[in-house]
Amino acid sequence: MDEETFEQFAEQLERYVRERLIPAEPQVIENDAVPADIIQEMREMGLFGLTVPEEYGGAGLNMSQYARTVNIMAYAAPAYRSIFSINVGMFASALKNGATEDQRAEWFPKLAEGKIACFGLTEPGSGSDSAGLQTTARPSADGNGWVLNGTKRYITNAPHADVALIMARTEKENLPKNAHVSAFLVPMNAAGVSTGSPDKKMGQSGSHISDIMLDDVEVPGEALLGGETGKGFRFAMQSLDNGRISVGATAAGYARRALDSAIRYANERKAFGEPIANFQLIQQMLADSEIEIYAAEAMMRDVTSRADRGENILIKAAAFKVFSSEMCGRVVDRVVQVYGGAGYLAEYDAERFYRDARIYRIYEGTTQILQLQIAKHMLREWEALNG
């Protein structure tokens, strides 16, 4: 999308977030669901196909535009972004990176029209540890397809999804570069696919996760992403760069919402005869939050511009996600403190911000896993230069 058109879209989206989505938040929280009419509006706005190439019916946003869109959406309740985030993030990225032309022609238009995708990597016994992955894919009896068995856990949008990208073991033994893992495009209405009840969570009302159970699920040979075994984990990890940028942009957007709420409350709440916004220690918490949000926004602009130039962003995407998610946690903690006793009450927004933000430090790679990954790649780069 050209920049002038995108700026018009971004301005329209900001109005939609503030005038439509935020007023509907009490309904989302009460019903633990995004209203169907809002989901349809989001489809009509093209939000489910933001990163789908234009030739397949999508908006064709580059990484900078995509991250900014997510950042704008994240100002509202997390459920709104969550319902389309897998489509425009990891699923679309995996199709771009690893799908055959036939697979792109089949699935990109479906994403653009609003079909919902999910991403099946995490399992009960493994998350970032691919060696522990237990879901299997074996050749079907006729040799023309695959049979999948296993369970995936904590899968965002699984209860509503039309299609899943499932990581499965195609070799019994662990192989170098995770070549024992392949990726499969699995329709959620396929025989043998079922989902558990949505998990009850600490926060993020209206955003649903559940298990996916695969019981002798037969898929055709065309379901193997890229048409080759052993490439699935690489496709998944490349997609996670995209997902981590999305989480970082989301955390920065939600931190901005929380800080704006704290500024408003600090000007309304009076103590000792004056607004608490006049007190220097309150001002310090507000200022520290602004400083950190600005740093995250600057990181977002840098890493996305690098991605658009075709640079390897593995380290920087992980660094942005770590900093932004940890920053958001610090900001919402300060916001509760600014609210004081009211910050602990469910009738005020601060308590919700605090619960909603906690997951950002966990999904798409915990802070600790990403610290290990960053260090590992730093050391590899040093060895390549000095070895």
Burial zone of 345 (CB within 10 Å; 0-12 exposed, 13-18 middle, 19+ buried): exposed
Q: Which residues of 117-149 are buried (b: 16+ CB within 10 A; e: fewer)?
A: bbbbbbbeebbbebeebebbbeeeeeeebbbbb
Element (H, E) at 316: helix 314-339
d(Cα 242, Cα 318) in Å, to the nearest integer? 10
Task: Let me know: does 314 contact 215? Beta carbons within 8 Å.
Answer: no
- Of 14, 297, 364, 381, which one is the catalytic site residue? 364
Q: Which residues of 274-300 are buried (b: 16+ CB within 10 A; e: fewer)?
A: eebbeeeebeebbeebeebbeebbebb
Element (H, E) at 137: strand 136-139
Is 364 part of the annotated catalytic residue set? Answer: yes
Q: Amino acid identity of 334?
A: R
**Which residues are marked as active site?**
364
